[in-house]
Structure 1
């Protein structure tokens, strides 16, 4: 089976369930998306960036999940007051994973925060807040609307991987306030919302792909979004 490494999130605050027993974890929908695509998921605990190459050597593809905002200092900016929680240790580890996977020619899928990490790892920048800095007018964080319900449209670029598997225009869910500003090296935009927030990317060689929405949350209720995981796992079987 194709082995897909899923970089874990990092619980860094005490809470009633775990007290001070800090944990690494991943939301189960990412795991299920890989399983339904006939991939074998491995959760990668947050580690030292120097270990990234060893982790990448052990897998066929890398999945970056959602979570905290990316630390602005990593793309050369001071944090605005709109920035919520960040975790520089997670950022640094995932950036190292991206660089190692790119160097090894192994496919990467970034989802929400994951697309943002991809962009920063490849020397791009982010809008710390798409409303304040990019003039976004749509609701890009649909809470309290249920997570699996698509709420706003995106339009894809003809011929792109996302266009080929899901079509020209469709509804997606949305849970973010950061977004891609200047694209990273060898990346191109392949989808946008109606207020021009970047919703999808791919690299020139097709090995790096990402979406700003959350297909893992929608795939059970709306099975067409499982195609994103199927496409990624198929790519990991035979990267180009």
Structure 2
């Protein structure tokens, strides 16, 4: 589906926000979203709407104004939210973002609106649905592959994943392909009505789908890969079709 000016559905993208001073912005803290997420959605034929980080009590109002929700990458998810004490390997977390996004996910679920999570976004979906995470896939899950490829260029695939037969990801991209990778946390126990539908060769969860098909997620970053590897645009196309079909039913 190509970008067009007759966009009939809106997808909300939950923003990140700066919590430390930077050379560019100083203490002029900002809410932001990496533009590749916006471009992927626009190319799929929808109107992206950035949702600034806010109070969890406002989540229902935010969701009422969009037809679907995208959760992006970013900081680690706080283990406190799934009943664990943080390990030293967790690094930076932002519980304000965690709590707001969990509220958005639950509001979207209550409204029957589709949700997609990318990297951290897939992880926060799992926590919102009652699941748990590996705080560090190397220390806790015995991961052996390079799941954080930095400083390798973002769009370069660095390890393979295998998808479950007849899953949404299998249908659009096939059984086995290479992806990029920027994470050290990962899914442990899946949340309610959520199943893992792709794994890396060292068994780390790489994609999920809810029982009703309205919630999907990937651990890799298709928004970064789609320009050099156009087949990854299919992930955005699939989600937008899901949103459109849900809206028009």
TM above 0.5: yes
Q: Which residue of 1 aligns with 2:165?
A: 158
Corresponding residue of 1:62: 69
SS of equivalent residue, structure 1 residue 82: helix
1:27 lines up with 2:55 in the alignment: no
Superposed CA offset, 1:47-94 (max 9, x none): 000000001110000000000000010000000000110000000000
Matched, 1:82 2:89: yes
TM-score calculated relative to the size of structure 1: 0.99
3-state SS of the aligned residue for 2:90? coil
Look up the match of 1:207: 214
Structure 1 residue 214 displacement after superposition: 0.2
Q: How does 1:61-210 map to 2 (within 5 A)?
A: 61-210=68-217
Which of residues 46, 51, 67 is equivalent to 1:44? 51
The normalised TM-score by structure 2 is 0.96
**Structure 2 gaps, min length 5:** 1-7
Give 1:175 shift: 0.2
Secondary structure of 1:189's aligned partner: strand
Which runs of 4 or more aligned residues in structure 1 lie more than 4 Å from their structure 2 counterparts after TM superposition? Answer: none
Partners of 1:220 and 1:28 lie apart in 2 by 13
**CA offset at residue 101 of structure 1?**
0.4
- Number of residue-to-residue matches in the alignment: 240
Aligned-pair distance for 1:123? 0.2
Please tell me the root mean square deviation across aligned C-alpha atoms, in Å: 0.6
- CA–CA distance in 1 between the matches of 2:12 and 2:35? 14
- Residue 141 of structure 1, CA deviation: 0.2
